[in-house]
Amino acid sequence: MYNIILASTSPRRKEILNNFEIPFKVKGSEIEEKMDDREMPEQIAMSLAFQKAIDVANKCNYEDIIIAADTIVVKDEVLGKPKNYEDAFKMLKALQNNIHFVITGFSIIQLSTNKKIVCYEKTKVKMKALDDEMIKKYINTGEVWDKAGAYAVQGKGAAIVEWIEGDYFNVVGLPISKLQNNLKKYFDIDLF
C-alpha cells in the first residue's frame, strides 16, 4: 500500500490539498534550490519540482506517490524568493504596474512503477501601481519572505494585485486542477 506524500512544507500547498478528501503526509525536500539562467523559466520550475520529488522519494517507501512543486515569478528575469529587504523591494518595484507570469512546475513520481510526471502551469498577473511607501508597508507585513516574487496573492498581497488571468491556485503555489488531471490519468487517483 502506498502513501501520498506532499514534498513541500508550504502551508499554502498543504491547505490546498486539505480541501480534498485524500489522506496525505508532508515531507519537505532538502535540496538547495539552484536556477540555471540558461534554461527557459518553465524548465527551471519543472526541474526544481522534479529534484524535490526525487529527493523525497529516496527517503520514502518505494510504493509511495510523491507530489512536489516549485513556483517562480517571471518579469524580464526569473524572480525567486527574496534574500533580504532590498531584494524584496527591488522585486516589488519591478512588478508594480506591470504584467508578470507565475509558473509552477510540479512533479508526481512513484518509484515502484517508474512513473515520473513533470508538468507546469502558467498564469498571467497584473500588479497595481505602487509607490515606494506602499511597497515598504507591504514588505513590513512580513508576508514577502519565502514567496516567489515577494508577494502572496492569498494574503495581504491580494490588495496589490490588479487582476489574474488563468489559474488562481497556481499563483498560490499548487495548480490543483492540472494536478488532479494528472493524478487521475497516470495514477488513477481522484481527489474527490
Instruction: Read off the pLDDT of residues 145-187 as tens digits, 9 standing for 90 and up.
Output: 999 999 999 999 999 999 999 999 999 999 999 999 999 999 9
**Considering the domain boundaries, does residue 154 fall inside one?**
yes
**Considering the domain boundaries, does residue 10 fall inside one?**
yes
Distance, in Å, from the CA atom of 92 to the CA atom of 160, rounded to the nearest integer, reads 10
Instruction: Return the ∠ at Cα 146 (arms to 142 and 148), rounded to 5°.
Output: 110
What does the pLDDT read at residue 31? 87
Which positions are annotated as active-site residues? 70
Residue 108 CB-half CA count within 13 A: 22
**Considering the domain boundaries, does residue 98 fall inside one?**
yes
**Considering the domain boundaries, does residue 31 fall inside one?**
yes
**Considering the domain boundaries, does residue 192 fall inside one?**
no
Q: pLDDT tens digits, residue range 24-56?
A: 999 999 888 887 878 999 999 999 999 999 999
**Considering the domain boundaries, does residue 166 fall inside one?**
yes
CATH code (residue 153): 3.90.950.10
**Considering the domain boundaries, does residue 129 fall inside one?**
yes
Number of independent structural domains in the chain: 1
Mean predicted confidence (pLDDT) in 90-109: 98
What proportion of the chain, given as a percentage, has pLDDT over 70? 100
Alpha helices in the chain (DSSP H): 11-18, 41-57, 85-95, 132-139, 168-172, 176-187
Distance, in Å, from the CA atom of 167 to the CA atom of 46, rounded to the nearest integer, reads 17
The whole domain housing 73 covers 4-187
**Considering the domain boundaries, does residue 33 fall inside one?**
yes
